[in-house]
Amino acid sequence: MFAGRTDLAISIRAMTVAYQRKPVLWEVNLDIPTGTLVGLVGPNGAGKSTLLKAILGMVPTVSGTVALFGQEYRKVRSRVAYVPQRSSVDWDFPATVRDVVTMGTYGSAGWFWPLSKRDRNRAHEAMEQVGILDLASRPINQLSGGQQQRAFLARALAQQADLFLMDEPFAAVDAATEHAIVECLRTLQKSGKTILVVHHDLHTVPEYFDYLVLLNVRTVAVGPMAETFTDENLRRTYGGRLTILDEVSEAIRRREATRP
């Protein structure tokens, strides 16, 4: 049923999502090439989180198609890792960091049998990669916000996916964690993975990502950072809201000032 362009990690055609008839996403069209580090940016209520959930089939779509690596999501499930917002889970859950990271491997571990050594090693490596190996035995309710976010990232890494969908991984984390996560994402990108990140801070957008999706219920603009991160596009995305506009033009100005 799909045209099967495997060089596109995500390909969305005319997708509409509605909550009780109010459209949250409207006629969204989106192509993300593989191997890109993508920022998904838009004002509050633009449907950024909903877009991720719609890609994963967690919210029903009214119309449109989603193809991941040229196939239906169901068929490539194991190649996709989702990092939900940190606040979406109860961190009082009785588990250690290792337990949470290991959950990433459950998908490939089968129904009943105990986890294999290989699965445990994957969790171990993932923790090492994001620098939380020393926290492995710590109960998760003793983690700081940044450490929680790293644990979530490690859990996604343990899934060994090719496409990562991350919902606001930089929300309320410390500078060190933000830096560590960005480094980690760049490493992933170098090994050919595709990463789509919901992001809020316009100032850091051009610095962190090389591909940009501007979303405000519709997709306003999609493309490489240099062509897409323009005054005009941002104005259309955040249209009418003066304070944000100021912020945006400041970001543009800074970006142009730092451009070599």
Query: How many positions of this chain bind other proteins (CB under 8 A)?
Result: 29
Q: 95-134 mask for other proteins (x: CB under 8 A)?
A: xx--xx--xx-xx-x-xx----------------------
Choice between 18 and 103, CB closer to other proteins: 103
Distances (CA, A) of 66 to 15, 56, 136, 165: 8, 9, 37, 14
Choice between 78 and 187, CB closer to other proteins: 78
- Under rule CB under 8 A, residue 171 binds other proteins: no
- From the list 26-34, 86-94, 201-209, 211-219, the region that binds other proteins by CB under 8 A is 86-94
Q: Please give the radius of gyration of the chain, using alpha carbons only, rounded to the nearest integer.
A: 19
* DSSP conformational letter for 248: H
Choice between 137 and 258, CB closer to other proteins: 137
From the CB of 4, what's the least distance to other proteins, in Å?
21
- Under rule CB under 8 A, residue 89 binds other proteins: yes
Q: Exposed (0-12), middle (13-18) or buried (19+): which is 60, by Cβ within 10 Å?
A: exposed
What distance in Å separates the CA atoms of residue 140 and residue 126, rounded to the nearest whole number? 16
What distance in Å separates the CA atoms of residue 237 and residue 233, rounded to the nearest whole number? 6
Choice between 48 and 155, CB closer to other proteins: 155
Strands of the sheet with 211-216, listed across from one edge: 80-83, 163-166, 194-198, 37-41, 211-216, 218-224
User: Of these, 10, 17, 66, 80, which contacts other proteins (CB under 8 A)?
Assistant: 80
Quick check: 119 and 159 in contact, CB under 8 A? no
Contact positions vs other proteins (CB under 8 A): 56, 58, 74, 77-78, 80-82, 84, 88-90, 93-96, 99-100, 103-104, 106-107, 109, 111-112, 139, 141, 155, 159
